[in-house]
Amino acid sequence: MKAPLRVLLAYGLASLVGAAAFVYPFWLPDGTLSTRSTDAPLIAGVVGALAIAAVMAEIRAHTMTGADVAVLGMLSAMAGLMRLIDLPGGGSGIFLLVILGAVALGPRRGFLLGLFSMALSAVVTGGVGPWLPFQMLVLAWVGAALGLIGRATRRMPPTAELAVVAVAAWASAFLYGVLINLWSWPLTPGEGELQWHPGLGAGETLRRYWSFYVATSSAWDAAGAFANAVAVIVLGRPVLATLRRFAARLDPVVELDA
């Protein structure tokens, strides 16, 4: 079922606020970047409120029901607990369930699944901090992207779909890493070639950030990407089939064709 405009606007506004939260420090004058570590509660509150507003708009528009909310809550809780499971190679179990859940449920549900799963996992693992709203947003975007991919692969042969989802799971680890490192990079002290400081042009900023990412996080993300892909290949087919049975029971609320 297609969502009305007000529902899409709620999701779009949440993403817009999130994107602004990532990039606004690059327009702050030197000496004010310390606010980066104190703005997290405000960002989390705004994004959380917008996510709840999106859910309420969906319920009012009859594009989400109580059963839909229950499934999202159950999957988010399971994904949050799966963050305690370390996959070989540095991956985390939370990504597997968010990836496959988003593929089965669609982009809007994928967005909410990523957002709420990361929030719950932080409570479970004691990982609440100024980084949390940014982790929530990035995993929400990963969920939305995988939901779009799931919409495109739904009618593929199972083996072909699994291959596409595995590649997407591999890429999602790098996407997550590239974006999540952006929240703290302006706070990195120093004057070296890997640091940012006010006055750099866009091209030099991108060059320095890429060098920073490659030097500090790319190897870890490569290991996580490998773990994601292997987990999808090994477990993806039965888990995805189970999740799609849940989705079929929610039809036409879940975005099977919309």
Reference 23, options 206, 145, 207, 210; nearest CA is 206
What's the pLDDT score for residue 191? 73
How far is residue 105's CA from residue 96's CA, in Å, rounded to a whole number? 14
Averages of pLDDT over runs of 10 residues in the chain (258 residues) are: 78 91 75 60 84 86 84 92 78 91 94 94 88 93 96 93 97 94 80 79 88 92 93 94 84 49
Helix and strand numbers (H, E) in the chain are 9, 2
CB 51 within 8 A of CB 108: no
- Beta pairing class for 86-87 and 91-92: antiparallel
Output helix, strand, coil percentages for the chain, rounded to the nearest 5: 75, 0, 20
What's the pLDDT score for residue 37? 60
Q: What is the amino acid identity at position 131?
A: W
Q: What is the amino acid identity at position 79?
A: A
What's the pLDDT score for residue 209? 92
| Tokens 């070296």 belong to residue | 192
- Measure CA of the first residue to CA of the last residue in the chain; give whole Å: 6
What's the pLDDT score for residue 256? 47
Residue 103 vs residues 66, 212, 216: alpha-carbon distances, Å: 21, 32, 30
Model pTM score: 0.89
The residues, any chain, with a CB within 8 Å of residue 94's CB and separated by 6 or more, are 79, 80, 82, 83, 117, 118, 121, 139
What's the pLDDT score for residue 34? 54
Helix, strand, or coil (residue 87): strand
Q: What is the 8-class DSSP label of residue 91?
A: E
What's the pLDDT score for residue 29? 62
CB 54 within 8 A of CB 48: no
How far is residue 37's CA from residue 240's CA, in Å, rounded to a whole number? 38
Helix, strand, or coil (residue 62): coil
Sign for the pseudo-dihedral over CA of 136, 139, 145, 149 = negative
Domain boundary assignment for the chain: 5-250
What's the pLDDT score for residue 26? 78
Reference 102, options 57, 146, 153; nearest CA is 146
Indicate the CATH number of 5-250 among 1.20.58.1910, 1.10.1760.20, 3.90.1150.10, 3.40.50.1360. 1.10.1760.20
How far is residue 245's CA from residue 251's CA, in Å, rounded to a whole number? 10
Longest Cα–Cα distance in the chain: 57
